[in-house]
Structure 1
Amino acid sequence: MAGHGTHTLSTAGGSPVTGASVLGYGNGTAKGGSPRARVAAYKVCWPAVDGSGGGCFDADILASFEAAIKDGVDVLSVSLGGATFDYMGDGIALGAFHAISHGISVVTSAGNDGPSPGSVTNVAPWLITVGASTMDREFPSFVLFGGNRLEGQSLSTAFLPKNKLFPFIRSLDAAAANSSRSEADLCLMGSLDPKKVKGKIVVCIRGGNARVEKGEAVRLAGGEGMILANDPTTGDETIADAHVLPATHITYSDGLKLLSYLNSTKSPQGSLTHPFTNLGSKPAPFMAAFSSQGPNSLTPEILKPDVTAPGVSVIAAYTNASSPTGLDFDKRRIPFNSDSGTSMSCPHVAGVVGLLRAVHRKWSPAAIKSAIMTTAMLSDNTGEPIKNASLAAGDPFVFGSGHIWPNQAVDPGLVYDLSATDYLNFLCGLGYTSAQVSTFSPYKCPQDPPSPLDLNYPSITVPNLDGKVTVTRKLKNVGAAGSYRASVQSPSGVTVAVKPEVLAFGKVGEEKQFQVSISETKRHRLPRDTYVFGSLVWSDGRHHVRSPITVKAKL
């Protein structure tokens, strides 16, 4: 009843709808990634009863996978996740394996526990795991004070009068008698003193409770408006919310400027401008702070997330059974809503998978995944490398292979293909017994299973380099006949050699194997506790089949 499923399903496969907007913002034609696709929904999450028992249980998740297989779907969009479990106890990994065994691609969320390293979830190699990044559409609302103009984001329909200034106060300076300053700093419900807040614009710090709930705390205390400032962990990521009072959300760096003004001014005052829709904002995309990051805590030989896609302030269809904020005090109902999370980026990729399946009916789930990964973008709309939420340089643990580029994925030239048997051998190579692997499918492990490093994955990760290692990969031609030459950007302190350096393909479906040797350079020792990044690109002059290379030396 929360609108999550409606929002994600319409993002993946919604039909075109003209005049879609959120409270008048972002007006235009909304459509899913695979418009006019036939869609099916499987309910696996349930609300709590009497305060307990709610959640998404493996029994329901597994039942939904089996139902989808029976129904003959082509792609599953799974905007679910939690703590990373052993593969044998992971309902999503188990169910997804059965799906890919039937030719069904499974796309999942990377999680919303960023920017902590190693927080990524849904790490099985047969899943397409998606991080979240911004898009070039924003909803600016500016903070005006002392000759300054700070850009924030908002979807508030409550406005302050123009040409009128209001007193500013930091929320921690307005703590109620029964609340701590730290509680007031976060604008927790009931933490603010109405005598100190009434008639003022209150500056609250992000974290601890829902963003819109902070505004409700300010409104109930008699405040005229709210400025939500990021903390260091959320950096420059701002989100447009349907606030219940005039409000805007500013970056950490701008928050420091504002707080400096408050601390240095006897009677600080200012105002907030009305939000509006702005297209073509720069830089975009950059990574959302909440997007969970690598390395893969369960199988570090597999880079996760795989790619990133739009997951901030995404407009899609919504339920009338819940408010746009999902908070009990919010009684508004709207047909479209803006939401953020890797739950929102996941169906973007699922929609792309649907399009690829329509064009390439015989491609395996692994081939489709490879096409999306090896054609992904690494640059934003300013031509600079994609950045993290603090606008510092990102890396593959943040965005995987890069930001999806659907038009390029239709014609990747070459793909790294895999079968269900390859994934079973991967599990055998991790040390699982035949009995354990048979949890996925009846199987007897080979006497000498392949190394996890040799799984034919579209990225290369060596988490424990001890001098030198050689990994094997195989490429399948899905385009015209031609020759591809390898080019390498070696990670710092690492030497990478590819053999052979040229692969010649004479027909569609032909496969060629190659080896990549990775070794520490003799001139300077690789740091023992730090990953370094590079890339391998195979190109025929028109196609550029790119794989990130991620290396850390053995401790």
Structure 2
Amino acid sequence: MLKLWLLQLSLVLIFCYACVVAEARSQQLKKTYVVHMDKSTMPATFNDHFEWYDSSLKSVSASAAMLYTYKNVIHGFSTRLTAKEAESLQKQPGIVSVLPEVRYELHTTRTPEFLGLGKSETLFPTSEVQSEVIVGVLDTGVWPEIKSFDDTGMGPVPRGWKGVCEVGRNFKSSSCNRKLIGARSFSRGYEEAVGPIDETAESKSPRDDDGHGTHTSTTAAGSAIEDGVNVMSMSIGGGLTDYYRDTVAIGAFTAMAQGIFVSCSAGNGGPYANSISNVAPWITTVGAGTLDRNFPTYVSLGNGKSFSGVSLYSRRPLSGSMVPIVDAANVSSTSSGNLCMTGSLIPAKVAGKIVVCDRGGNSRVEKGVEVKDAGGVGMILTNTDSYGEELVADAQLLPSANVGEKAGDAIKNYISSDPGPMATIISRGTQLGIQPSPVVAAFSSRGPNPITPEILKPDLIAPGVNILAGWTGAVGPTGLENDKRHVSFNIISGTSMSCPHVSGLAALLKAAHPEWSPSAIRSALMTTAYSTYGNGKTLLDISTGQPSTPFDFGAGHVDPSNSFQLDMIMVATSI
């Protein structure tokens, strides 16, 4: 027993020593922190606030430097510190908070007609007034050559503009114009954390190498508070935390207090309850609904049955003749083969066949790439119970069809029951007037508000499924600013797409009524939103096929168009 006890003790000692070493190492690792300081408590011995900031920082770290300083959203600075240094700084006088950086995720045309904007001249004031409204978009950047940023017919740059057009790789001063009036990039914190940006893969400038920022900005209007913006659109979100520790919530509060309308995406965590983000009361939180437009594609099986789906594939279609069809779960080398993860399919079993893949686990387009790389000639993407009958169209690299859960189950049953299953995929172009519409998108994040349940979130929903807008191709910098192969349009879905719709509508309302506050604009949008169809029935939730609830759509779907609503806007904002 003694030897055994000694052995156990030695293992414990070794384990504890490893814990101590690991803890010591973690204490030496530096992270980026945002330091919020109480401006009013600056000692009289300092000439200015920046001198005070620097002194406070040097009191805990002789080597640390300020990455950025802030004087609008908050007063303070950002820097790189160890956990111990951050803890020590938090105890200094005048420090409000020392918050570790948060990685915010991106939340990723027919809509003017669907929203009725083409019929309402009331919401479109004169071009001179419109051009005085500035929309700021915080996102992955912008591709200035896109047609949506053409400034033809625009008036001069607004008198209140105080920003700059930052010059960098693939971004010249001439990239800005009377519509895209300015752009900035912020990368110091990123480079301090992971090293210098690889400019062969990503531009160290406002240029968009992802595509998300271009898409959202062209939806909204086609930097920050100091620049003089009127509307701020942020299609990003992170983990939920107390409002005073949430960088987006803090910034949005200051912006709102200075008369700036802030809209944020609700997130793509639906259809689950409590999945919503950006829930601060002063933020206009936007969920996603569908349009009345569809891109129908049909799957015809060898047993004579057909099922409808959607697809944006527009290149060379499959021939009218049938080809073999297989379930990915049966032609994969992994236990999760049904998801068509990268490298999972067996080429010898896939070549020349249509492959059925389940939605989830990786991106929908990534699944198509995997099927194509394995030699497949087509893909059918089937919903699981999490997505129900929601149909989201994708621009795939091979003939494809996204189908609902019921159709997917029927197709898989056919494959498993027929010794030689065959199928083909037939595209039918674009179809308008789809009813019922809108319906709440399955991916749209839902309430209740996890932090303050008494405050309803989302505030409202807007078009966020199959949205057409500017796109860069997301292929990385080419050095060719006018390379038309990478400057085009794409259709994307997500609350990232619904958020800028509301930002754009807020800009129109601000142009028509410059005296309106952010709260007045949000009140106008919410009190005129609708939650029922023309027949009086509640908007449907596509994930269940059942009526949705205010935890899904908030006040309802945004509706800027009809005359009744315009009267309501005037009433709502004059109370």
TM range (shorter): 0.5 to 0.7
SS of 1:406 mapped into structure 2: coil
Higher strand share: 1
Asked if structure 2 preserves the Cα contact closer than 8 Å seen for 1:189 and 1:217, the reply is yes
The match for 1:281 is: 434
List gaps (5 residues or longer) in structure 2: 1-105, 109-138, 154-177, 198-205, 207-222, 477-483
Which of 394, 401, 404 is matched with 2:555 structurally?
401
SS of 1:214 mapped into structure 2: helix
Mapped partners of 2:473, 2:377: distance in 1: 28
1:167 aligns with 2:320: no
1:246 aligns with 2:399: yes
| Shift in CA distance, 242/383, structure 1 to aligned 2, threshold 3 Å | farther
The match for 2:489 is: 336
Q: For residues 94-147 of structure 1, give each alpha carbon's deviation from its aligned partner in whole angstroms, at most 9, with x where no partner exists.
A: 111111111110010001111111011111111100001111111111111122
Displacement after TM superposition at 1:271 (Å): 0.3
Q: For residues 173-202 of structure 1, give each alpha carbon's deviation from its aligned partner in whole angstroms, at most 9, with x where no partner exists.
A: 1123xx22x2x1100111111121111111
Aligned 1:178-197 pairs, distance under 5 A: 179-180=334-335, 182=336, 184-197=337-350
1:99 aligns with 2:271: no
| Shift in CA distance, 211/411, structure 1 to aligned 2, threshold 3 Å | closer
The match for 2:227 is: 71
Q: For residues 191-230 of structure 1, give each alpha carbon's deviation from its aligned partner in whole angstroms, at most 9, with x where no partner exists.
A: 1111211111110000111111111111111111100001
1:157 aligns with 2:310: no
SS of 1:273 mapped into structure 2: strand
Aligned 1:523-538 pairs, distance under 5 A: none
Mapped partners of 2:189, 2:472: distance in 1: 15
1:89 aligns with 2:245: yes
Displacement after TM superposition at 1:53 (Å): 7.4
Aligned 1:495-534 pairs, distance under 5 A: 509=574, 511=575
| Shift in CA distance, 403/233, structure 1 to aligned 2, threshold 3 Å | same
Mapped partners of 2:309, 2:541: distance in 1: 18
Mapped partners of 1:160, 1:306: distance in 2: 42
1:307 aligns with 2:460: yes
Identity of aligned residues (%): 43
Which of 118, 127, 135 is matched with 2:291 structurally?
135
Asked if structure 1 preserves the Cα contact closer than 8 Å seen for 2:146 and 2:488, the reply is no
Which of 140, 147, 152 is matched with 2:304 structurally?
147
The match for 1:436 is: none
Displacement after TM superposition at 1:163 (Å): 2.4
| Shift in CA distance, 123/79, structure 1 to aligned 2, threshold 3 Å | same
Asked if structure 1 preserves the Cα contact closer than 8 Å seen for 2:148 and 2:470, the reply is no
Higher helix share: 2
SS of 1:228 mapped into structure 2: strand
AA aligned to 2:244 is M
Aligned 1:9-28 pairs, distance under 5 A: none
1:206 aligns with 2:362: no
1:262 aligns with 2:410: no
The higher radius of gyration belongs to 2
| Shift in CA distance, 291/10, structure 1 to aligned 2, threshold 3 Å | farther
Displacement after TM superposition at 1:285 (Å): 1.1
Displacement after TM superposition at 1:40 (Å): 4.7
The match for 1:497 is: none
Asked if structure 2 preserves the Cα contact closer than 8 Å seen for 1:388 and 1:394, the reply is yes
* TM-score, length-scaled by structure 1: 0.63
| Shift in CA distance, 41/141, structure 1 to aligned 2, threshold 3 Å | farther
AA aligned to 1:186 is L
| Shift in CA distance, 160/333, structure 1 to aligned 2, threshold 3 Å | same
The match for 2:525 is: 372
SS of 2:548 mapped into structure 1: coil
Mapped partners of 1:155, 1:227: distance in 2: 13
| Shift in CA distance, 294/15, structure 1 to aligned 2, threshold 3 Å | farther
Asked if structure 1 preserves the Cα contact closer than 8 Å seen for 2:318 and 2:399, the reply is no
The count of aligned residue pairs is 382
Q: Which moved more, 1:374-383 or 1:218-227?
A: 374-383
Displacement after TM superposition at 1:241 (Å): 1.1
SS of 1:248 mapped into structure 2: strand
Mapped partners of 1:46, 1:313: distance in 2: 34
1:385 aligns with 2:538: yes
Asked if structure 1 preserves the Cα contact closer than 8 Å seen for 2:322 and 2:422, the reply is yes
1:358 aligns with 2:472: no
The match for 1:490 is: none
SS of 2:521 mapped into structure 1: helix
Q: For residues 238-291 of structure 1, give each alpha carbon's deviation from its aligned partner in whole angstroms, at most 9, with x where no partner exists.
A: 211111111111111211121122222222111000351111122211111111
Q: For residues 19-75 of structure 1, give each alpha carbon's deviation from its aligned partner in whole angstroms, at most 9, with x where no partner exists.
A: xxxxxxxxxxxxxxxxx96765554579977995799xxxx9xxxxxx532222111
Mapped partners of 1:398, 1:11: distance in 2: 34
* TM-score, length-scaled by structure 2: 0.61
SS of 2:236 mapped into structure 1: coil
Asked if structure 2 preserves the Cα contact closer than 8 Å seen for 1:171 and 1:185, the reply is yes
Asked if structure 2 preserves the Cα contact closer than 8 Å seen for 1:378 and 1:402, the reply is yes
List gaps (5 residues or longer) in structure 1: 18-35, 61-66, 324-330, 416-477, 481-507, 512-555
Asked if structure 2 preserves the Cα contact closer than 8 Å seen for 1:371 and 1:410, the reply is no
Mapped partners of 1:152, 1:350: distance in 2: 31
RMSD: 3.5
The match for 2:97 is: none
Q: For residues 141-181 of structure 1, give each alpha carbon's deviation from its aligned partner in whole angstroms, at most 9, with x where no partner exists.
A: 111112222111111134444320011110001123xx22x
**Structure possessing the higher relative contact order (Cα contacts under 8 Å, 6 or more residues apart):** 2
